[in-house]
Chain A
Amino acid sequence: MTPEWHLPPEVVARRTSWRIVLAHTITFRQARQWVPALLAFGAFRGFTDGPWAVVVIVAVVTAVSLGSAVLAWSRFRYAPGPTAVVVTRGLLSRSVRTVPLDRVRGVEVEAPPLHRLLGLVRVRIDAAAGAVQSDEEELVVDGLPRAEADRLRTHLLARRGAEVPAPDSAGDPAEEEFARFDDRWLLYAPLVGSYLAVPLAAVGALFRLADELPRRWRPDLGRPDLTDTAVLAGALGAMAVLLVVGSIVGSALVNWRFRLVRRGGSLIAVRGLLNRRHTELEIDRIRGGTVTEGLGMRWVRAARATALVTGLGDAARRGQLLPLGPRTEAWAVTGRLVEDPGPLRPHPPAARRRRLVRAILPGAVVAVAGVVLTATLGLWWVLLVGLVLAALGVPVGLGRYASLGHATGPRTFSVRSGWLVREQAVLQRRAVVGWQVQQSFSQRRQGVATVVAAVGAGAGGYQALDIAAGDAVPFAVAASGRWAEALSGPG
């Protein structure tokens, strides 16, 4: 089995420079995975044989490192072909990774000190943004001479050169305001979980600090009489005020004078009281938006709007269109960027049944245990707790069902779910990079399915929970394109 078994004949598979073996031996790059085994062996044998044992161990470790570095080098190939780059690697198991050239987003050439000493560089190829999990190593060609690396880089990026649009040099384009934070919206803050957490954390830190202080520095508060209702009510009231004020102050620090403007092809957000933050994102890369409403925010019709942007790190914070404001404002700013697909369609009755069962089941289990305990030990309160939990499950289940909805429009589609935090995502059809239809055994019996749109932005996937099984493929086709018809018939 040759490593080139998959390659078209005109492409030459190349090795990296042999000198990289030195670097990898010194840094134990491949040998690192053997260290636990060596330690276990050492612990088993014991390290009591004196200095010779240490010498032997060092020799063995170095030999293992050298051996695995040589093996890794000899089994590594990269082939910059006319349409794709192919990287072959693997010590025992083999892996061949093919990246079409026009999917290459960027190429990074780096030279760590040891590499520089050997006259080598490392080339990182950025291709499957977001898809590569931490355990899957990204595409790295380690150990090329500088000139060869530059050739590879030019080859990989040759396709891109033509398409990169010329920068907007038409002077200073006019600004258009998309959103501006109204100071009154700060009053929403006490109803938002994340802002409430700010004063709670501050109070917690204060208590820890008080614990650390020497005794004589601590203020003597005596021992307040908590049985006195007036004292208790006062304490609770003070805490409530502290929470409210703290959350408003916290929100003001972050969101002060938030302003979102469009300048040319970019959206620019400025905000913050002490630390003025300035973030910029390209409108071309926006694939959709989410409008999020927590339980408390829904009482006062407040919401938060976030843009879903491809290739944006820390997108949740940097993609913010409106950090906090009235629902109508959140939808207005979202609507300027992503077309509204129309009203949401409710999900079938089976979905309501499923949400209710899910919400009531934990309470019901406790109640059944309570019945047993009441009969055997006379512990009636477990039964009571179970019944209360089950009863509370009814509004929760109904609320969860009420949140469900999906819609498709001419250019966009939308899905909504969540009760504690309700999130509606509006996505462009072109945002979809794949579909997943999931059906558990009970979903199969009830004739529903969950459809997940894979999207290269935001959370990576947005789901329509429990839609009628027969609607799954029509929804996917309407929300993306005719290619999704392959789900239902030969393509």
Chain B
Amino acid sequence: MHPDPARTPAWSPARNAIGLWAVEGVLGALVLAAVVVGLEVMLPLPTWLAVLLPVLVLVEAVVTIGFRPRLRYRVHRWEVTAEAVFTRTGWLSRTWTLVPISRIQTVDVTRGVVQQLFGLASVAVLTASSQGTVRIPHLDADIAARVADDLARRAELVRDEAT
């Protein structure tokens, strides 16, 4: 393996994010299970399929509840430096995004319904380009609010001469 093209940002999302992702996994697995139960009741499936489908659902549930949340927690990183907002995401395919504070146009904080249960919020930093959006998922709500406030203040202080 060659060295990475860019460094890893310093900070992780909130620890609670693992719980939130696991809950999302549970919800998804429940939906799948309901579909499979429906299929098994309504259709005369061949025996091998009738056995295979629940096994697949089980495997999917183990992956999305037990494994993926921890992986995601490791993979999502973020950092606010003196001049820029910096994130990295992705496991096999990875994406680093860097936006200078001087080019920030808008800062969004959103709290979805499940996020509110876990006390989390996501921050999105928007620029004049649709490809220059930085998304920081699942921070502690207080931290998210502080980050957004701080970024908006600093963006106002640095005059944007270009866009």
Q: Does B131 contact A (CB under 8 A)?
A: yes
B134-163, CB under 8 A of A: which get 1 and which 0?
A: 100000010001001100110110011111
Check if A490 sits within 8 Å of B129, measured CB to CB: no
Check if B116 sits within 8 Å of A128, measured CB to CB: no
Query: Which among A90-98, A172-180, A294-302 touches the partner chain?
Result: A90-98
Contact A93-B111, Cβ < 8 Å, known A434-B127, A438-B94: yes
Given the complex, which residues of B lie within 8 Å of A430, measured CB to CB? 161-162
Identify A128's interface contact among B2, B82, B126, CB under 8 A.
B126
Main SS of the interface on chain A? mixed
Check if B110 sits within 8 Å of A460, measured CB to CB: no
With A and B bound together, what is the CA distance between A113 and B108 in angstroms? 31
With A and B bound together, what is the CA distance between A43 and B96 in angstroms? 48
With A and B bound together, what is the CA distance between A359 and B132 in angstroms? 30
Spell out B's residues near A (CB within 8 Å).
1-7, 10, 79, 81-84, 86, 92-100, 102-113, 115-116, 126-134, 141, 145, 148-149, 152-153, 155-156, 159-163
With A and B bound together, what is the CA distance between A129 and B162 in angstroms? 13
With A and B bound together, what is the CA distance between A172 and B44 in angstroms? 84
B24 to chain A, nearest CB (A): 14
With A and B bound together, what is the CA distance between A434 and B98 in angstroms? 6
B27 to chain A, nearest CB (A): 15
Query: Which among A48-56, A365-373, A390-398, A451-459 touches the partner chain?
Result: A451-459
Residue of B nearest to A81 (CB): B152
Q: Does A270 contact B (CB under 8 A)?
A: no
Spell out A's residues near B (CB within 8 Å).
1, 5-6, 8, 83-84, 90, 92-103, 127-133, 139, 287, 310-311, 430-431, 433-441, 444-447, 449, 451-452, 454-457, 460-461, 469-470, 472-473, 476, 481, 483-484, 486-491
Given the complex, which residues of A lie within 8 Å of B163, measured CB to CB? 310, 433, 456
Check if A97 sits within 8 Å of B127, measured CB to CB: no
Identify A436's interface contact among B96, B111, B112, B160, CB under 8 A.
B96
Given the complex, which residues of B lie within 8 Å of A83, measured CB to CB? 152-153, 156
Residue of B nearest to A84 (CB): B152
User: Nearest 4 pairs between A and B by C-beta?
Assistant: A456-B128, A454-B132, A491-B81, A434-B132
Given the complex, which residues of B lie within 8 Å of A484, measured CB to CB? 84, 98
Q: Apart from A90-B110, A130-B129, A438-B95, what 11 extra A-B contacts exist at CB < 8 Å?
A: A95-B111, A100-B153, A128-B106, A433-B129, A434-B98, A434-B100, A435-B98, A483-B84, A486-B86, A487-B7, A491-B82
Please list 10 pairs of residues, one from A and one from B, whose beta carbons are closer than 8 Å in the complex, sorted by A's number.
Answer: A84-B156, A128-B105, A435-B98, A436-B95, A439-B95, A457-B128, A460-B129, A460-B130, A472-B6, A487-B96
Check if A310 sits within 8 Å of B83, measured CB to CB: no
B128 to chain A, nearest CB (A): 3
- B10, B81, B159, B162, most chain A CB atoms within 10 A: B162
Identify A6's interface contact among B103, B133, B148, CB under 8 A.
B148
Residue of B nearest to A481 (CB): B100
With A and B bound together, what is the CA distance between A194 and B98 in angstroms? 36
Given the complex, which residues of A lie within 8 Å of B4, measured CB to CB? 439, 469
Given the complex, which residues of A lie within 8 Å of B103, measured CB to CB? 433-434
Check if A434 sits within 8 Å of B97, measured CB to CB: yes
Contact A99-B106, Cβ < 8 Å, known A131-B126, A433-B132: yes
With A and B bound together, what is the CA distance between A452 and B84 in angstroms? 16
B94 to chain A, nearest CB (A): 5
B78 to chain A, nearest CB (A): 12
A88 to chain B, nearest CB (A): 9
Check if B98 sits within 8 Å of A98, measured CB to CB: no
With A and B bound together, what is the CA distance between A131 and B125 in angstroms? 10
